[in-house]
Structure 1
Amino acid sequence: MKEEYSNQNTFLSMIDMDLIRQGLLHAIQDLVFILKVIDDETFKYMYVNKIGMDYARLSEECYGKTFAEVLPKDIAGILQRQYEKVVREAKAHTFCDVVKLPKGEIHYESSLNPVCDEEGICQFVICITRDITAQIEEKTEIEEKQMLFKSLLEYNNDSIISIDSIGRVTYANPATYEIFGYRYEELNNKFIFEFINKEYEKDFQIIFKGSMQGKAKQIVSKKYSNYSAT
């Protein structure tokens, strides 16, 4: 028997969700889409909140219609595959999308959640879509800074060695070999104190402990043993 949908209230009466009946989903900032599953392959719009309507450029005329009936062919195809995956695997699925605008890109993350009956048959798919542009931009900015920082280390003519809180070497740039004759592989996970001239070891220990307390100090003297000199 073909299901008939005339308006939003008809759809909302089909599922027991107080938030929807109270209209609270219209107020949240996430995009909400609820689709009825028919024969595991057909999905019909049942509910879309206001921000979702605006984003997808839909109206209440979309209720009871499929992706192909209300969306551009390429977008409909993408959504069809994503929703089929959720029904087929009977578990939540997340995917990302990018919308290109004249002022830049907007990144969205959609979480698809199947709603199954007592027999395990998926009856609805609830999609929650949120704008993750800020997070993506922040991640990109961090990655760019990390790349820049790494470049500054790698191409610096000065020896730069990083050690952890117990004095174990965790990084040494290429210049370290040119200056001291030690490659990173020879220093990695070794204690820096092994490479300090015994004459300066006590002073270095004091300076190291001070640096762990946030006290910076510059030393102008030979503190490390050169590999070629030993």
Structure 2
Amino acid sequence: MKIYPTHLTLLQLPTVKQFARAISDSVFIMKVAFHDEGPYFIYEYVNQEGLERSRLTQSCFGKPMEEVLIKGDVSYIRHHYEQALEEKRAVEYSDIIVGSNGKLEARTELIPVFKGEDVTHVVAFTKVFARQQNVLNRQTDRLFYSFMDNAEEAFVIFDLDQRILTVNPAFYEMLGYDKNEIIKQKLSSLQGHEGDSINEYFLLLREGENIPRYSTTWYSKAGQPIYVSIAFTSILDDEGIPAGAVAIIQNLTEEKRTRDAFTATEQLYELIATHTQDLVELIQPDGTMTYVSPSHEAVLGYKPEEMAGDSIVNYVHPEDMRAIRAKFSNPTSSIENETFEYRIHTKTEGYLWAEANIKLVRDEGGSLHHFVSSSRDITKRKDAEEQLKVLAYTDELTGLTNRRVFKNILKKAVARVKRQPISKIGLLYLDGDHFKGINDAYGHLIGDQLLTKLANRLTSVVREEDLVSRIGGDEFAILLATIESPHEAIKVADRILEAMKTPFEIGDVRLTFSFSIGISVFPDEANNAEELLDRADRSLYAAKAQGKNEYVYSSWLDS
């Protein structure tokens, strides 16, 4: 059902702007201008919801969309604007947004604005079909898209049917596609030569399995081969069920060309190595380095002569040493070409992460002669991958583990006790008694600071081996990993209620806060993790019913 007009006049634009300030839909007013190559669309006005949703700022005003949007997205959006302009009628189109609320559908209606017979503006009304986003959701979205937009690696997010939902600018640059050419397309159709392999990978991703990083050849839109290193990671929903997948793709074409140019002649290796920032070594089967490129001094701080004649193993992180020793100390190794990651010691700054490509060189008789190793610093990429893990598994506001991680750890703890029933597991489910009132009275900023202080105080009450997680809002859960009796869980609940008697100081605001707590113990009241959670949840509501600032132990409900 249409809720917006099919056309507007220039005199109605001030009213549209007033209307835009009061609605939750995103509103964009684009001025139409012309040059020799055709029309272009300039940002004249965007309401606050539009700025938030599209990650724009007021600096976009007065600029054409080509200067504001990601290059690969422009042709997809511009096509619909040109249709509204040329046909002088309202045009509708839909898009997919991926954010902290999951996969969302956005529907946009473009309305031409007339002055006489001419179209002077196009007004876009965009409605996103999703549950309400809070401030934390939007902060997470901005962090997520900021990372995606600035990453050197290409990122692609798919649904479980392989359809592409969103990509970052690096993907457009690497493969040369525009958004309208790839959106909702299947990966196996874009890279048809790998269709069978990709289909097998997505079967594993549907089961929650990840695909370790591997190297292969993809093809750009123009048909040019691109040598890539790629890994697929399954995206799980809040219940731990696979909901999609993300691919992280690194363009290794230039590195491959360099490596392919190597021959077995040491003089040629040395010539190339002298002019590259890659760490190049010639390594004997026992791990001894007979040649070390000059780039080691710039990257690691060691002069080549300091390392030459030494074993590569002596520079490897202890946790990676066994694997590296196995690769170089076996004279009968059959490795022809292999890529792997390891940590290598620097002279002054500890360890950095490196990705090494190892090539085996044989003598005229076909026997192993030596290895050629070419490594590059991937510390930034490893740091970025670690940031993604933090976003996926940690509550951004409090730093505690989130609901997904808590459930996974709880299931593992229950499985451990089933195997070795020498102790019990205690579960405390906490819900704030008047958090909404504090938010309403003092605002979300004070509310967020209070949640952080609550997380710190709860952590201080329990043992180091116990787990405190934020489940959502002002709900927390505490896993007591090993207890001897339910009485220990009850004592923790007593300590929490006592700790909450001390007011919280946030700037000039002094707040009191209390929890209602539900307690359950495995295996006394449950047969599995789901039953344990359910018993704790019911006990929590019983505590609320008793007047709040109370705790109820699950077994009391049965008496």
Normalising by structure 2, what TM-score? 0.20
Which structure dedicates a bigger proportion of its chain to strand?
2
Larger RCO: Structure 1 or Structure 2 (Cα < 8 Å, ≥ 6 residues apart)? 1
Normalising by structure 1, what TM-score? 0.48
